[in-house]
Structure 1
Amino acid sequence: MNLRFSHFAIFSCVLLFSCSHKNFEKIDNGIVVNIPQKSELDVNKVKLEVLGDKLIKVSATPEDKFSDRKSLICSSVGENIPFSVEENDSLVSLATSQIKASVNKTTGQVKFFDKEGHPILVENNGGGKEFTPIEVEGKKGYTIRQLFESPVDEAFYGLGQHQSDEFNYKGKNEELYQYNTKVAVPFIVSNKNYGLLWDSYSLSRFGNPEEYSQLYKVFNLYDKKGEKGALTGTYKYKSGDVIERREDSLYYADLKTIKNLPDKYPLYTSTVTYEGDLEALESGNHKFILYYAGYTKLYIDNKLVVPEIWRTAWNPNSYKFNIDMEKGKRASFKIEWIPDGGQSYCALRALSPVAESEQNKQSWWSEMNPQIDYYFVYGKNMDEVISGYRTLTGKAPVMPKWAMGFWQSRERYKTQEELLTNLTEFRKRNIPIDNIVLDWSYWPEDAWGSHEFDKNRFPNPKAMVDSVHSLNANIMISVWPKFYYTTEHYKELDKNGWMYRKAVNDSIRDWIGKGYIGSFYDAYSEGARKMFWGQMKDHLYSLGIDAWWMDASEPDICSNSDIQERKALSGPTALGPSTEYFNTYALMNADAIYKGQRETDNNKRVFLLTRSGFAGLQKYSTATWSGDIATRWEDMKAQISAGLNFAISGIPYWTMDIGGFCVEKRYENGQREYDKTMKENADYKEWRELNTRWYQFGAFCPLYRAHGQFPYREIWNIAPESHPAYKSMVYYTKLRYNMMPYIYSLAGMTYLNDYTIMRPLIMDFTSDSNVNNIGDQYMFGPSLMVCPVYKYEARSRKIYLPEGETWYDFYSGKVVKGGSQNVEAPYERIPLFVRAGAIMPYGPDMQYSTEKPADNITIYVYDGKDGDFTLYEDEAVNYNYEKGNYSTINFKYNSKNKTVTIGERKGKFNGMLNNRKFNIILVSGDKVRPFDLNAKGVNVEYNGKQISVNL
């Protein structure tokens, strides 16, 4: 008995030793760790793949093998990166020269460390992985969640572009889906200098994985009479009639649910009140999301929690707020809603309280994936993190130089004559412009998708394009992935099975004229993408069109459909269910045009502007704008944090509709009244100031572009020449062109160094915790601090200048102390500050970006710190820079010696200036120099050889 036990014990030890070697296997670029499962939905395998010294991909599955699904966002990178592997009793670890990652052999928990062994990112205790089976259209997958620990002082940025004016996402929730004014990018950057790219294309959530609930699931509801079970809804109509009813939820959020509103009278003739009491079912912090169109206010406990907000009827927005509430304690509640159109939306939902320790963790949830896939990106700073992201997802090409200039657009130039007349007016007034945009509906009314022009309004499109070019401008045209089923292009695509058919089969009509039936093409099919570009090439590119405005690329097949209907309308895709591929349509559509044009003409830079986007969009020479936002001060403010988070999401080129797209009727009426009387009424006075402040902000964005509905957006249509609004808008447009050497160099840095042009303060002042939540100021490049003004009649604003730095007022050249302070913001000026050590190059006045060679550049140097700047130049419109045909000139400033060293020019290109002049002006605390391009400094001639200049 004892002998047999001894033999069994020896056999068991041998077996255990043998199994220990099967806990993991080393693969070519990493390791696979096998995890013992307690149930079939526990993680079974965890894979770490080394894609760079600071890049590791993590995959996890409950199955016996990993998915072979090809990533839509990441290329094959990081071949033959050296790494080592170690194993102990509990962990298998993998290390590169810069980072280390370990996998717990029992739980599958992954941890990341720097090379000194300090933890950077740690999955939740136990691994934090959840898999729930899901099957759609016969395809099986998982609803997944991954949870990470997060220290108290961590902050999160990125996630794309959203409109709730949130900046730091620590402790917040964001639903990631594409919508007119939302862009989902599943990438965050932490102030701990790492990034996480979540490789999922389905509906996703950052933060609480739960969907916001109807009010009755979170509260006991009481109507205004005190009766339990509902709130009171009161609908008052202009006719004097009143409808009062009990409402057990407030959810009129889409085309389906608004049918539950009273239908006896037109909604736009009503004022609506929802009121009663809310009694919390749990104590704690309740998070709310208000979905609104029309004018909306919300009160809780008789306090105005949501001040008046507005969105146009057909394009609702979301507003988030939090309220601490005590279980069993009733709080009075009221919404005042004035619908502003035939169909309008109002919905309020809430989340039950979550423990702060859990809410503050980093959490990712996605509806449908074959497995968990994410990429860990480490860097010494946030720029290195974004560089790692672009290593994974693709470099950002240098945009054509003209794209850095001013663009004029409106909804819409209705005729060829109208477009050319307005462009000509820019030239007559000497207001710089590089691009004019032809928005939608240039085609015959019943021929959307034909890519043909309505001959009555556009009699000679080729002549129109040629005329634009003769005026030294470029033309961008709106192209939708949408086709009426009667067009030849629809039939061509449909014949191959490349059209989404549900909208056609259901006879869904759009909003044009009598309403027409059509749908969108399947951008997930390679053949469809090639055909889509081929149609554009034959009908539009052949005219000489310079750039593409890819509208409605969410895809927006039927506006304001609920999520389930949106999935049904946009699928199935060539790759699988739209549930799985819900968020990546714009990425695939951009792929079609970028690759198509480069194959057609590789000597002309591609430029795309799209309303939606996703991780990796930058590699397709594509910018994004923030959609059909409203003409409200709060919407202007929200664009600052939206643009900053989009930039830190790794996609460098972003823009917005200066002035907002959707216009309040009071501004339309104000314009019409002004046209009759030529007197500035109150609404039109505000309209002018709103546009002035928005232009001031827009001049310091990666792309500078005005667009929107009536009133017309051309500067002279906003105000006459004598008006301060006109003067200010022209001033900043001209300054934008003076800054072209600086701005275009930033574009070069974006390509060469993976730079970010529009920079949240957290990027440059990461160690200063005061900037963690500042989302209304930013750096424009390395030198300029931009502080937009977003309140009506404000003539000052509160700012923060990071301490430990010397700052200068841009206009006066005076030193400004650091810290929080109020600064002047006169009507015509935006507060701008320059960082000590800045080297700012300015070129001549120009009417378009390539009008004059920059043979005379004025260089402003700001004392107080050593500095450097690299001037980048190339051929402006082609791809020769990819072959190395560009030049750089490095400027270094030594603050101690007051010396500027202009380095030897590196590189060359056709048309390069061999000789030029620099006018160098030193600004210091004891040598105040106001900004003036005509100021005299130290003039030097430069022939490409290194020289030093003592100032």
Structure 2
Amino acid sequence: MAGVDYTLNEHGALIKSGGVDIAVEWYTPSVVRIQRFPASTHPEKQSFSVTAAPEKVDFKIKADDDALTLSSEELTLRYEPAADRMVFLRADGSRLLEEKSGSSRFVRIDDHGKPSYRVAQTFVLDADEPVFGLGQHRHGLWNQRNSTQHLRQENMEIAIPMVQSPKGYALFWDNYSPTDFTDNAGGMTFDSRVGDMIDYYFIYGATSDGVIARWRGLTGHAPMYPLWSFGFSQSRERYRSQDELVDVVKRYRSLGVPLDGIVQDWQYWGEDHHYWNAVEFLNPLFPDPKRMMDEVHALNAHAVISIWPSFGPSTSIFKKLEAEGKLMGHMTFPQDFGTRVYNPFDSRARDIYWGYIKDNMVKIGMDGWWLDATEPEHSPIKEEDYDYETGSGTFRRLCNAFPLVSVGGVYDSHRRDYSAKRVFILTRSAFAGQQRYGAQSWSGDIEASWTTLRRQIPAALNFSLCGIPYWNSDIGGFYTRGDYPDNPLANPDYRKLYTRWMQFAAFTGMMRSHGTNCPREIFNFGSPGDEIFDAQAKAIRMRYRFIPYIYSTAWEVTSAGASLMRPLYADYGADRRSTGVDDQFLFGRSVLVAPVVTPQDGRKVYLPAGNEWIDFWTGRRHKGASRIVADAPVDIIPLYIKAGSIIPVGPDVQYASEKPWDDLVIRIYPGADAEYTLYEDEGDNYNYEKGSYSLIRFKWNDADRTLTVADREGSYKGMLKKRRFMVSVVDETNGHGLGGDIADGVIKYNGRCVTHTFKD
């Protein structure tokens, strides 16, 4: 055939294009990998992010003088040799994305003695097509079009070279070196400092959920978190003794404010930086950490501890890693003390790291890992730092994957050695595929300001669209020294900012208070009866009332590739106005969250077209495709429930597992038919992976006003055999806010199907 020189293989084709070869590799009918490399090289590469192997995909091929076309049942690729470009199309022939003609670039470089290339590729988007993703950044951008960004891991900047389009596709640029993303009139370009090939994956899912589900099939599914981690966690920089930490938990219990987690920040190893991050309790104010953990557990709370990937030269772990040649060479925080970072790309180094965590933290009963500074910290940067040979390539070649392999080492080791207890990891950085490691990220050491709070929303949504479902931020901002340098706890503006941030945090992956410059525990803001104290307590209690809904959504995340924090377009793509909304989001599929991000007690809210919306606090109904002004006194965050929803409301508790869900309130938000699945399991082990869980499916027929609760599916140890559901059909007189529901019907449920009809 004169037009295209190609050969077929089991998973696709190899195309000859001048001096460059193009490998097309089908992973599924909707996922394809494209590699371009100089014809003389044919490099082999094992992806750090992609764990799936290519499936056997039935595809058709058509060749003529103008193009080579490869088509699966869901996706068509057309390579046009005259233009040297690959075009991606839906099965119906409509265009999704294309490479810019002749835009593949290979510039020879020397990567510490190894010949390689600087690699780049440009793509052509529709003129009005937005794209989202790229990780999590401070800039506040929602749509990444018309921007230039340097993707390198650093504090407050999570670099993931992946974009998602509302057209129903994502593109993952599989390169781990520092990468420049540029979008302008010339196209959308990824330009990476080093690579033996251009290597990217095209994922078609038709919808945002479809894209994420296929992405997780490619890179790994997100495991379930322990139930307690969805409660409220208190942290501070830092608790200075074990008694202080335990006393904070006791104080919350005495105040009757719910709490599940307490977080110990740095320097439990002491204040001499030569002993930095010893992964041991060397500080004399923590004389008996096992007793500390026993006391925390006796108060029905859990503890998480800060562990870094860098170590001071006087620590035992430093000496062991150094003796085996497993320390990297660049300077890291705290500078000038000889602190060094370990090499997580080396399996032996990962084993040493985990060994210290296991011996000094797991064995005293620590519940979770705050893996801080997993970028890692790198300052000042010297070009020769990137010459370090990791064993899998230079640090220059692999640096952006550092958090993925470091976090992954802890997760895999924990699963291997303590499979009965779920892994919980909080970490400051991430890379593509990290959702498979039971890790969620936060937005780093951000400053306290209204602008920063506002920017957290697009940061979170862009991160979520990279397939990592759990994200959070330091409530109130880590630093207050910028806008609030003097006694922020006495500053009315900061007190309001902190309260609004707490309300926002109630609808993120983890509700966690943390920061420096001033303590953040609720009792530092007043006492019961004080407006700000009561507003914060209300936000925490609201989180707990939503836990059955959150936990069931978490199961959807794990089992179906769903997302927790969702942009409006994910469910309302037909409403083009929803795509541009960057200060609201959906929490699960039913709750629209509109955080207050200014000092005013109210805000404008856009309610997408497609259904009516019901005010969570008042029961008042609003039409879709409408803009409203929401009143929001300091104790209220605007929340709207999709008409045609079923929401389980949990009990008023002091910690997540305090009371069984034997008397759940089930709220019906009428106006359309609705379905909902309540998920339950043992709460803190992996037996659900073996089928130990239950599903209870609810179905509301709006025309007949009938609720059907189906036969329970599955079982697990400790499962409730009998229970009641207190059902409220929400209107302006009943079923709103945090309590006071008057049951419109009581359903006694023993696991067998039951139907109840409600009067108008």
Q: TM-score range by the shorter chain?
A: over 0.9
Provide the C-alpha distance between the structure 1 equivalents of 2:179 and 2:591, rounded to a whole number of angstroms.
36
- Aligned CA distance change for structure 1 residues 658 and 853 (closer, same or farther; 3 Å): same
How far 1:189 sits from its partner (Å)?
0.9
Amino acid at match of 1:61: F
The answer on 1:32 being equivalent to 2:14 is yes
Which residue, out of 442, 459, 463, partners 1:642? 459
SS at match of 2:185: helix
Structure 2 residue aligned with 1:150: 125
- Aligned CA distance change for structure 1 residues 466 and 557 (closer, same or farther; 3 Å): farther
SS at match of 2:523: helix
Kept after mapping to 2: 8 A contact 1:180/1:628: yes
The answer on 1:357 being equivalent to 2:185 is yes
Amino acid at match of 2:366: I
Instruction: Let me know the Cα RMSD of the aligned residues.
Output: 1.8
Which residue, out of 162, 167, 190, partners 1:187? 162
Structure-to-structure mapping, 1:412-427, within 5 angstroms: 412-427=238-253
Which residue, out of 27, 33, 40, partners 1:51? 27
Structure 2 residue aligned with 1:870: 677
SS at match of 2:504: helix
Structure 2 residue aligned with 1:475: 303
How far 1:655 sits from its partner (Å)?
0.7
Structure 1 residue aligned with 2:141: 166
Structure-to-structure mapping, 1:241-256, within 5 angstroms: none
The answer on 1:62 being equivalent to 2:38 is yes
> In the TM superposition, what whole-angstrom CA distance separates every residue of 1:463-504 from its partner, at most 9, and x where no partner exists?
00111111111110000111112222112111221101344x
How far 1:916 sits from its partner (Å)?
1.1
Kept after mapping to 2: 8 A contact 1:33/1:92: no
Structure 2 residue aligned with 1:83: 59
The answer on 1:841 being equivalent to 2:648 is yes
Amino acid at match of 1:422: V
Which residue, out of 783, 786, 792, partners 2:590? 783
Structure 1 residue aligned with 2:635: 828
Provide the C-alpha distance between the structure 2 equivalents of 1:948 and 1:585, rounded to a whole number of angstroms.
53
Kept after mapping to 2: 8 A contact 1:809/1:834: yes
Which residue, out of 99, 102, 112, partners 2:75? 99
> In the TM superposition, what whole-angstrom CA distance separates every residue of 1:290-324 from its partner, at most 9, and x where no partner exists?
xxxxxxxxxxxxxxxxxxxxxxxxxxxxxxxxxxx
SS at match of 1:637: helix
Which residue, out of 445, 449, 466, partners 2:294? 466
Provide the C-alpha distance between the structure 2 equivalents of 1:413 and 1:549, rounded to a whole number of angstroms.
15
Structure 2 residue aligned with 1:914: 721
Provide the C-alpha distance between the structure 1 equivalents of 2:674 and 2:122, rounded to a whole number of angstroms.
42
The answer on 1:801 being equivalent to 2:615 is no
Kept after mapping to 2: 8 A contact 1:813/1:929: yes
> In the TM superposition, what whole-angstrom CA distance separates every residue of 1:656-698 from its partner, at most 9, and x where no partner exists?
0000001126745235xx7xxxxx5xxx111211111111111
Provide the C-alpha distance between the structure 1 equivalents of 2:376 and 2:387, rounded to a whole number of angstroms.
7
Amino acid at match of 1:548: W
> In the TM superposition, what whole-angstrom CA distance separates every residue of 1:734-782 from its partner, at most 9, and x where no partner exists?
1111111100001100000111000111211112111222111001111
How far 1:173 sits from its partner (Å)?
2.3
> In the TM superposition, what whole-angstrom CA distance separates every residue of 1:891-933 from its partner, at most 9, and x where no partner exists?
12122211122122111111111111111111258x7643335
Structure 2 residue aligned with 1:125: 101
Structure 2 residue aligned with 1:388: 214
- Aligned CA distance change for structure 1 residues 669 and 907 (closer, same or farther; 3 Å): same
Provide the C-alpha distance between the structure 1 equivalents of 2:333 and 2:279, rounded to a whole number of angstroms.
20
> In the TM superposition, what whole-angstrom CA distance separates every residue of 1:694-748 from its partner, at most 9, and x where no partner exists?
1111111121100001311101112322221111111111111111110000110
SS at match of 2:101: coil
Provide the C-alpha distance between the structure 1 equivalents of 2:119 and 2:330, rounded to a whole number of angstroms.
28
Structure 2 residue aligned with 1:882: 689
How far 1:850 sits from its partner (Å)?
1.0
877-886 vs 69-78, greater mean Cα deviation: 69-78
Kept after mapping to 2: 8 A contact 1:188/1:195: yes
Kept after mapping to 2: 8 A contact 1:633/1:690: yes
Structure-to-structure mapping, 1:576-725, within 5 angstroms: 576-664=393-481, 667=484, 669-670=486-487, 684-725=491-532
Kept after mapping to 1: 8 A contact 2:487/2:518: no
> In the TM superposition, what whole-angstrom CA distance separates every residue of 1:114-161 from its partner, at most 9, and x where no partner exists?
1112111111134x2111112121122221111111112311111110
> In the TM superposition, what whole-angstrom CA distance separates every residue of 1:541-588 from its partner, at most 9, and x where no partner exists?
111111001111111043xx24x45x7178332212211112111111
Kept after mapping to 1: 8 A contact 2:111/2:387: no
Which residue, out of 196, 204, 213, partners 1:378? 204
168-177 vs 881-890, greater mean Cα deviation: 168-177
Provide the C-alpha distance between the structure 2 equivalents of 1:933 and 1:396, rounded to a whole number of angstroms.
36
Structure-to-structure mapping, 1:288-367, within 5 angstroms: 357-358=185-186, 361-367=187-193
Provide the C-alpha distance between the structure 2 equivalents of 1:105 and 1:502, rounded to a whole number of angstroms.
45
Amino acid at match of 1:536: I
Provide the C-alpha distance between the structure 2 equivalents of 1:649 and 1:28, rounded to a whole number of angstroms.
29
How far 1:77 sits from its partner (Å)?
2.8
Kept after mapping to 1: 8 A contact 2:734/2:742: no
Kept after mapping to 1: 8 A contact 2:386/2:396: no
Kept after mapping to 2: 8 A contact 1:33/1:105: no
Larger Rg: 1
How far 1:828 sits from its partner (Å)?
1.3
Provide the C-alpha distance between the structure 1 equivalents of 2:80 and 2:483, rounded to a whole number of angstroms.
62
SS at match of 2:713: coil
Amino acid at match of 2:705: K
Amino acid at match of 2:548: P
Structure 2 residue aligned with 1:447: 275
Provide the C-alpha distance between the structure 2 equivalents of 1:134 and 1:935, rounded to a whole number of angstroms.
71
> In the TM superposition, what whole-angstrom CA distance separates every residue of 1:808-848 from its partner, at most 9, and x where no partner exists?
11101011233123221111111111111111001111111
Amino acid at match of 1:881: Y
TM-score of the superposition, structure 2-length normalised? Answer: 0.96
Provide the C-alpha distance between the structure 2 equivalents of 1:933 and 1:859, rounded to a whole number of angstroms.
13
Structure 1 residue aligned with 2:150: 175
Structure 2 residue aligned with 1:248: none
The answer on 1:814 being equivalent to 2:640 is no
SS at match of 1:583: helix
SS at match of 1:669: coil
Structure 1 residue aligned with 2:314: 486
Kept after mapping to 2: 8 A contact 1:468/1:474: yes
Which residue, out of 479, 500, 512, partners 2:328? 500
Kept after mapping to 2: 8 A contact 1:36/1:106: no
Amino acid at match of 1:772: T
Provide the C-alpha distance between the structure 2 equivalents of 1:480 and 1:752, rounded to a whole number of angstroms.
31
- Aligned CA distance change for structure 1 residues 121 and 455 (closer, same or farther; 3 Å): closer
Amino acid at match of 1:906: E
SS at match of 1:534: helix
TM-score of the superposition, structure 1-length normalised? Answer: 0.77
SS at match of 2:430: coil
Structure 1 residue aligned with 2:194: 368
How far 1:373 sits from its partner (Å)?
0.6
SS at match of 2:557: helix
How far 1:65 sits from its partner (Å)?
4.0
Provide the C-alpha distance between the structure 1 equivalents of 2:450 and 2:692, rounded to a whole number of angstroms.
44
Structure 1 residue aligned with 2:5: 23
The answer on 1:399 being equivalent to 2:220 is no
Provide the C-alpha distance between the structure 2 equivalents of 1:669 and 1:169, rounded to a whole number of angstroms.
36
Provide the C-alpha distance between the structure 2 equivalents of 1:816 and 1:568, rounded to a whole number of angstroms.
58
Amino acid at match of 2:223: P
